[in-house]
């Protein structure tokens, strides 16, 4: 099983490394936010009460990294649809390799890519902007973003294989991702101090809100139970459920 995972991981990795430009294009969006939106936040944060503790860069950078995972990994199912159409998936499914390994190898590659992109963004925020975060916290935040990417990629693969439609798939994703993005307080944190009660209440239902909160806490170096507990529980549950869903879809006999 681990050998199969490794083989699939290596194949996908070498395919994505064939076009390293995509990795750069993938971080364009968060970089633009850092450059064109971050300076705006700096003033707002210092003049408005209700923001979480920390400088504007320790609020924005971790959130942008989760956004990166959100948009980078959710569409990975699209590539799977191409492999489905070209018969590659069927060719792999008829080998004795574990079908779950096919999923995990791909997911691992998605997670690695997201983590690499996250590192680039953090380095940029450190060098160019005023980001200040402890090393341990950064490492923890990378683990969080890696798991987030794992969860999203698994769900994306499962969804793609379930609906199997190149038009419906991105349309559905866009419809889901937009509210998820807005309700997770990525650009402006949804706190009791800033948001009306009803909006705050809805945002708490969104699992990504808690993940973004945990990511911000680890950037602050606030590794207390209080700050991290909910986010980590949500993340572990989300990852388990989506990987299970993906595994079940890949293992299903009727592809």
Q: Which residues bind another protein (CB under 8 A)?
A: 4, 7, 11, 14-15, 18, 83, 86-97, 253-255
Shorter beta-carbon distance to another protein: residue 101 or 186: 101
**Minimum distance between the CB of residue 104 and another protein, rounded to whole angstroms?**
14
- C-beta of 254: minimal distance to another protein in Å? 5
State both tokens at 100.
């779950």
In the complex, minimum distance from the CB of residue 105 to another protein, in angstroms, rounded to a whole number: 11
Q: Whose Cβ is closer to another protein: residue 69's or residue 107's?
A: 107
Query: Please, which residues have CB within 8 angstroms of residue 22's CB and are 6 or more apart in sequence?
Result: 16
Of 92 and 131, the one with the shorter C-beta distance to another protein is 92
Q: Pick the closer one to another protein by CB: 84 or 126.
A: 84
* Shortest distance in whole angstroms from residue 69 CB to another protein: 24
Contact between 172 and 163 under an 8 Å Cβ cutoff? The reply is yes
Q: Measured from the CB atom, is 1 or 201 closer to another protein?
A: 1
- Give 11 or 204: the residue with its C-beta nearer to another protein: 11
E strand spans, the chain: none
Query: What's the length of the chain?
Result: 255
Q: Concatenated DSSP letters for 49-109?
A: TTPPSS-HHHHHHHHHHHHHHHHHHHTHHHHHHHHHHTTHHHHHHTSSS-HHHHHHHHHHH
Tokens of 98: 């574990």
- The half-sphere exposure of 29 on its side-chain side, counting CA atoms within 13 A, is 14
Shortest approach of another protein to residue 229 CB, angstroms? Answer: 41
H/E stretch holding 251: helix 225-251
- Give the shortest CB-99-to-another protein separation in angstroms: 9
């Amino acid at each position: 099983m681990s050998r199969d995972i490794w083989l699939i991981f290596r194949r996908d990795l070498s395919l994505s490394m064939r076009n390293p430009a995509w990795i750069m294009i993938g971080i364009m969006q968060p970089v633009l936010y850092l450059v064109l939106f971050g300076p705006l936040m700096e003033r707002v944060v210092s003049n408005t009460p209700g923001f979480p503790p920390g400088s504007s860069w320790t609020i924005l950078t971790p959130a942008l990294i989760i956004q990166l995972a959100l948009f980078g990994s959710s569409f990975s199912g699209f590539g799977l649809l191409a492999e489905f159409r070209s018969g590659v998936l069927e060719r792999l499914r008829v080998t004795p390799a574990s079908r779950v390994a096919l999923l995990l190898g791909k997911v691992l590659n998605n997670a690695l890519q997201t983590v690499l992109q996250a590192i680039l963004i953090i380095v940029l925020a450190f060098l160019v902007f005023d980001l200040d975060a402890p090393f341990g916290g950064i490492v923890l935040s990378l683990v969080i973003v890696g798991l987030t990417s794992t969860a999203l990629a698994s769900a994306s693969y499962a969804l793609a294989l379930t609906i199997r439609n190149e038009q419906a798939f991105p349309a559905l994703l866009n419809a889901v991702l937009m509210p998820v993005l807005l309700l997770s307080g990525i650009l402006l944190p949804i706190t009791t101090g800033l948001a009306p009660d009803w909006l705050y209440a809805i945002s708490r239902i969104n699992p990504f809100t808690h993940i973004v909160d945990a990511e911000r806490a680890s950037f602050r170096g606030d590794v207390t139970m209080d700050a991290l507990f909910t986010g980590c529980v949500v993340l572990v549950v989300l990852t388990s459920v989506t990987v299970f869903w993906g595994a079940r879809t890949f293992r299903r006999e009727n592809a």
